[in-house]
Amino acid sequence: MDMHTYQASAPAKVILCGEHAVVYGYPAIAVPVSDVRVTATFHPEQTGYLLVDLPDVRESWRWPPGPTGHPLALLIRETLAYLGRAHLSGRLVVRSQIPIGGGMGSSAAVATAVVRVLAAATGQTLGPEDVSRLVYRAEEVWHGTPSGIDNTVVAFERPVWFVRGHPPQPFYPARPFTLVIADSGVSAPTREVVLDVRRRWEADRAHYDRLFQAIGQVVRRVREALEAGDIETVGPLLNENQQLLEEIGVSSPLLERLIKAARDAGALGAKLAGAGRGGNVIALVVPEDATRVADAMRRSGATRTFVTVVQQQVGQEQTLKA
Ligand code: PMV
């Protein structure tokens, strides 16, 4: 009998630029946050069932069947079916460093780590396309009609170019770049902020269409600069994107205080990331300035900060046999 332990992991994600305008058909770029991860560990045991242990959310249950309608229970069933297995006997422990509900793709990362560890436990490896597709199904149960951006960024662990209604497109930056992510500690439901923007757009379409279009231009220039390895150009573009988000009305005094703190501490550029009003701020920095920028944002009210390097290319088999 096989008594190895299997482990797999998956990164968080953050929207680099293009949020909100993306809802109106313009492109957005999301990037993996490889330094903030979910880890799934499988311990084979001869119990005859799978014990799913989620200590971070204080959940523990047996599969089959698992809690009715639970996205992870469904994911386990679909993944094992895809791997040609009806059962798995042992303990599955999932640990996450990703804030829940903070726009950092926590549910997609949990699902990705689980799919990968189930594949490893059955002696198989799945490519990112397969992982992404299985994770998308779980995301549908979690979030209704997800855009597909989270599962793609997390499963490919690469920057992704996303236009609504088109398959998300992973791409490579020519040089790595460093981001500081600061949690404002304020939770603002994405759904409500998106709805509020829609109301504003309906009241003055011409104005908001111009703002969304301008964001679309910025996002195109960010991609060009990343693909050219011209990181210095990206900073001012992120600032420009922030200015446009302020005009749309999704920023806040706290977010702007964190952004100013980052810029004053030497960031190349900074903006809110995700839906806005709360959630995260991101700052693009040269690696030497990361700690100073993170400290400055915490002093200005961020509840926590993460530093991450977005790599050119990640050797993506985050699966180890321990
Ligand atoms: O905060 P997040 O990562 O859920 O991003 C929301 C991005 C929006 O453009 C505001 C909404 C959307 O569905 O794209």
Q: Which among 166, 187, 194 is the best mutation to test ligand 1's pocket, defined by most ligand atoms within 8 Å of the CB? A: 194
What is the structure's pLDDT at 142?
83
What confidence tens digit (pLDDT) does each residue in 283-302 have?
A: 999 999 999 999 999 999 99
What is the structure's pLDDT at 243?
98
SS (H, E, C) 34-95: EEEEEEEEEEECCCCCEEEEEHHHCEEEEECCCCCCCHHHHHHHHHHHHCCCCCCCEEEEEE
What is the structure's pLDDT at 318?
39
What is the structure's pLDDT at 189?
87
| Residue 74 CB burial class (10 angstroms; 0-12, 13-18, ≥19) | middle
Query: Which atom number of ligand 1 is nearest to the Cα of residue 104?
Result: 3
| Phi, then psi, of 192 in degrees rounded to 5 | -70, -40
CA distance 89 to 59: 18
| Mean pLDDT of the region 248-257 | 98
| Residue 192 CB burial class (10 angstroms; 0-12, 13-18, ≥19) | exposed
Question: Does the pLDDT value for residue 3 go beyond 70?
Answer: no
Q: Report the share of the chain in percent with pLDDT over 70.
A: 96
**Pocket lining: 20 vs ligand 1, CB cutoff 6 Å:** yes
Q: Cα of 226 to ligand 1 centre, how many Å?
A: 22
Sign of the CA dihedral with 44 first, then 47, 48, and 52 last: negative
Output the residue whose Cα is nearest ligand 1's atom 4: 103
What confidence tens digit (pLDDT) does each residue in 7-33 have?
A: 999 999 999 999 999 999 999 999 999
Query: Which atom number of ligand 1 is nearest to the Cα of residue 194?
Result: 10
CA distance 85 to 67: 20
What confidence tens digit (pLDDT) does each residue in 140-172 have?
A: 888 777 889 999 999 999 999 999 999 999 999
Grade residue 54 by pLDDT with cuts at 50, 70 and 90.
Answer: very high
What is the structure's pLDDT at 300?
98
Q: Cα of 112 to ligand 1 centre, how many Å?
A: 20
**Pocket lining: 15 vs ligand 1, CB cutoff 6 Å:** yes
Strand order in the sheet with 269-273: 269-273, 280-285, 177-183, 304-310
Q: Which among 13, 14, 15 is the best mutation to test ligand 1's pocket, defined by most ligand atoms within 8 Å of the CB? A: 15
What is the structure's pLDDT at 2?
52
What is the structure's pLDDT at 199?
97
- 215 close to 26: Cβ distance less than 8 angstroms: yes
**Pocket lining: 190 vs ligand 1, CB cutoff 6 Å:** yes
| Mean pLDDT of the region 46-59 | 96
**Pocket lining: 219 vs ligand 1, CB cutoff 6 Å:** no
What confidence tens digit (pLDDT) does each residue in 308-322 have?
A: 999 986 544 333 333
With a CB cutoff of 8 Å and minimum separation 6, the contacts of 89 are 44, 45, 46, 47, 48, 49, 50
- Can you read off the two tokens belonging to residue 102? 């903070």
Residue with tokens 């953050």: 14
Nearest to 62 by CA among 76, 75, 49, 48: 49
Q: Where are the alpha helices (DSSP H) in the chain?
A: 71-82, 106-121, 128-143, 149-156, 190-203, 205-228, 231-248, 253-264, 290-299
Q: Which among 33, 98, 143, 190 is the best mutation to test ligand 1's pocket, defined by most ligand atoms within 8 Å of the CB? A: 190
| Mean pLDDT of the region 81-88 | 95
CA distance 271 to 38: 25
With a CB cutoff of 8 Å and minimum separation 6, the contacts of 150 are 13, 30, 105, 107, 108, 139
- Cis ω for the linkage preceding 65 (within 30 of 0): yes
Question: Does the pLDDT value for residue 70 go beyond 80?
Answer: yes
Q: Report the share of the chain in percent with pLDDT over 90.
A: 89
CA distance 21 to 9: 31
**Pocket lining: 319 vs ligand 1, CB cutoff 6 Å:** no
CA distance 74 to 89: 17
Question: Does the pLDDT value for residue 195 go beyond 60?
Answer: yes
Q: How far is CA 73 from CA 81, 138, 145, 193, 255, in A?
A: 12, 9, 19, 30, 37
Query: Which atom number of ligand 1 is nearest to the Cα of residue 147?
Result: 13
What is the structure's pLDDT at 191?
87
Residue 230, SS3 per DSSP:
coil
Q: Cα of 309 to ligand 1 centre, how many Å?
A: 22
